[in-house]
Chains A and B, each alone.
Chain A
């Protein structure tokens, strides 16, 4: 991978998002919030690429797991922490919490905790763009659980019929709550589903932010120009899992991370959580090399010094 200016910029944003989430995690471990919070450790390369591919007039609609998009679209750690404390200094003045948190200044106009719910609303936002002849496309985030809802099919059908500038981003982390895909259904071929409705499909994986950004910009260009909705499915891993030791599982039972704190993740251990391509920060470390990565960590730590010392 070539390390150009774009990569340096995106990797800095990814590491910043990771650090910010680790600070949130420390607050979660200390039970500082009454509300449920869904971290998105491991999702940062995609969310930063989505934000980088967005243009003026674009709108983003999120799901309950939206923290990485909030940071990618300009929310500060202070605003997020205050929001999660339901303080009037928060991003949405304490009225959004985490699962319904919006940030109109960052073009995040709607967020829903109900699986599938946000897809339908996104179609309406996209229809409004068409009616008002406004520039921009609408991207809506769902997951491999959310896409199981009937609303996924209905939204794609309506977006195709109405020629809407809609991109459906499927963050496929293989889990819905505590069940893997194979534990709850047969595989769904989204490419064929899209094709059957006359829509398009793009698959991403590997956590290369430059490749993600470039592919997303190409998707955006097609959707904007041709008004044919497109599904972008990204395969990623939600980090923060741990092993729970019980009498039944003396070797430890695998617990996937879904919500709340990631108890085995510590800010003290730094931002690298994985040892392969499933962790975008690990990849950055590999690509930058030890000295470059150490400099990046140091500069990021300085950004969050107020939060790291408390």
Chain B
């Protein structure tokens, strides 16, 4: 199943459970239906749909106003960067509403432009940066398992959160780990378990992490693979505990952020005495903001060197 179809179906199921729901955004029921993400979402009986003008600041405020009045809603939008136009609402109004014990849910579902060649409008691809400014909860969807976990557990829950999906992954087959072993409360998902190294993936880097994990397997080594779905601080204990056993931790981050939330995991791992911690990140330069492919590959030989492992490099 394609990534976009899977996520669409999950949202459709959740929205159908509401007696009253407002779905709004640009192109949500017209044009491309946001590339298929929102197609058919408004067909539920209790769902009111609004295609709206390009007014992100107000659209974020409307969601909070609905929430204050006990009406649940979701604002679907493209370009995480455009959400910066609503940063006042995300920060100030959110900080008011969160104190009111809201009974309604408000979710912003944004598409992170990470397919490449988008230039400056893909400057922001780190959901954790956005969540850090707004001090709000956020989740990135990378696999069938984390999408099910987040959408089914968070979407209808009273309160506010941002759920981010990846444009790059839209047309790909969704990652579906039959071996997903454990799911932890803080939205850390363990997909594989091994004893040689621990791989932790944040933002939308799970495909890269899986690929690295496959390299381990091809080299006759087993690595644990974790996805950090939460873009806000959460408990990394399962990852750290695993890394203490394996003695090696690789943290993969495909974002462009230099203040990524992964630093928290890195510090926690080092404090816990994990022997080798290696962070794989993009190297950003002034040139990085031109329209570029934005492909992000893990340098397996570099990982092998840092972890002192005989990884087979294709």
Contacts and interface: CB of A to CB of B under 8 A. Distances in A.
Contacts of A114: 88, 92
B68 A110 contact: yes
Given A120-B62, A120-B89, A131-B22, A154 B55 contact: yes
A122 interface: yes
Contact of A128 (B50, B66, B88, B92): B66
A116 B67 CA distance: 19
Contacts of A125: 65-66, 68-69
Contacts of A112: 92-93, 96
B58 interface: yes
B93 A127 contact: no
A270 interface: no
B65 A158 contact: no
A127 B69 CA distance: 9
B231 to A, nearest CB: 24
B96 A123 contact: no
B20 A120 contact: no
B69 A129 contact: yes
B220 interface: no
A117 B20 contact: no
Range of interface residues on B (Cβ < 8 Å): 20 to 34
B68 A109 contact: yes
Contacts, number: 103
Highest count of chain B CB atoms <10 Å: which of A116, A117, A124, A157: A124
Interface residues of A, number: 30
B57 interface: yes
A162 B62 CA distance: 11
Contacts of A155: 58, 61
A151 B65 contact: no
A83 to B, nearest CB: 15
A161 B58 contact: no
Interface in B8-31: 20, 22
Interface string B42-63: 0000001010110101111111
A151 B68 contact: no
A90 B211 CA distance: 59
Interface in A108-143: 109-110, 112-114, 116-117, 119-129, 131-132
Given A110-B65, A121-B68, 5 more contacts: A109-B69, A110-B96, A120-B62, A154-B55, A157-B53
30 contacts: A100-B96, A109-B68, A110-B96, A112-B92, A116-B88, A117-B88, A119-B61, A120-B57, A120-B58, A120-B59, A121-B61, A121-B89, A123-B58, A124-B62, A124-B63, A124-B64, A125-B68, A125-B69, A127-B62, A128-B68, A131-B71, A132-B69, A151-B57, A151-B58, A155-B58, A157-B53, A157-B55, A161-B52, A161-B53, A162-B52
Interface of B: 20, 22, 48, 50, 52-53, 55, 57-71, 88-89, 92-93, 96, 99
